[in-house]
Amino acid sequence: MDGWLLTQGHVTLYPGHGQAFSREDLLQMLPTADAVLACGTMDAEMIKRARQLKLIVCYGAGYDAIDIAQATKQRIPVVNIPETVVAPTAELAVTLMMNLARRVPYLNNVMHTEQAVEAFGLGKQMGVSLYGSVLGIVGMGRIGSRVAQIGRALGMQIIYHARQPKPEQEAMGAEYRALPALMTQADFVSLHCPLTPETTGLITRELLFAMKPTAFLINTARGLVVDEAALLEALQQKRIAGAGLDVFVGEPRINPLFSSLPNVILTPHVGSNTLQARREMVREASLRIQEVVLEGRKPVHLLNPEAWIGGEPAQA
């Protein structure tokens, strides 16, 4: 993105490779910024400092870290780039399922030790198959739909829960379930709902303890969607077979109890972290900046359309 903007005669400010601007850095830079690529928090104080801001681009799909209400109050359009994260995040969810089902991390560790020979033998190290299993998807949006597509290709039965039934999914064999029913019936529960006031704490202790003892929970959505204390309890007591977690409450710090559990696979919020996806994210973010800041056009994926006044973004 930097190279493209430079060729247009514009100035870009970005941290060094593998680094991030501090909050203090951002508060100093925001007053003169025309556009912001938000890779982290954009709270009300930060947005208030951005007196000439014309656009906030969320670097991905989830926008819970951006104070959209404050941006709207200042008539600053906020957009996300949701298509860019669909394929890699869905792939990670299925990867976690496969690794849990076949105990890959544990077996890999065994095979790297002197006890590797003891791992061989019929009936040892038994896993479970995805083929014929019931995949329960919570949130049948872009990512959930891609996970369903992959699940069908693997021979899984798809059930789902969403705010509204999805006729296009049901035409392909998916079946709608109320959330309590889905949690009791699924062999794998994969979470793909955005973090909103309605979905915060959506997966409660009651729902977790209603799962099959042979079932697995996959979370590549947001940590706060799940009652994390209840999940730890369910895992410790083996009320469920295991979990694959890419997101956590309070990340990057996570509850150390998770890392002590052998029935949990942990990844550090890398759902969209592939080379191809990052390149596409940069391209899409650049296009949004071009549309709004340089050409004054209404962008796609506008999260606060009420901030768009008379065909042009305008500060209050």
Is 86-266 the same fold as 2-80+274-313?
A: yes
**pLDDT (tens digit per residue) in 185-198:** 999 999 999 999 99
| Superfamily of structural domain 2-80+274-313 | NAD(P)-binding Rossmann-like Domain (3.40.50.720)
Residue 51 bears catalytic tag: no
Q: Catalytic: which of 222, 280, 284, 288? A: 222
Give the least confident one: 89-103, 157-171, 290-304: 290-304
Q: Catalytic: which of 10, 102, 142, 269? A: 269
Distance of CA 223 to the CA centre of its chain: 9
Question: Which structure tokens are listed for 50?
Answer: 């951005």
Structural domain boundaries in the chain? 2-80+274-313, 86-266
pLDDT attached to residue 11: 67
Residue 217 and residue 211 in contact, taking contact as beta carbons nearer than 8 Å: yes
Q: Catalytic: which of 118, 168, 251, 312? A: 251
Residue 269 bears catalytic tag: yes
**pLDDT (tens digit per residue) in 10-33:** 667 767 777 788 889 899 999 999
Residues 6+ apart with CB under 8 A from 33: 13, 50, 52, 53
pLDDT attached to residue 175: 98
Q: Is 60 exceeded by the pLDDT of residue 229?
A: yes
Cis peptide before 165 (omega within 30 of 0): no
Length of the chain: 316
pTM of the predicted model, to two decimals? 0.89
Angle between helices 86-102 and 142-153 in degrees, nearest 10: 50
Does domain 86-266 fall into CATH 3.40.50.720? yes
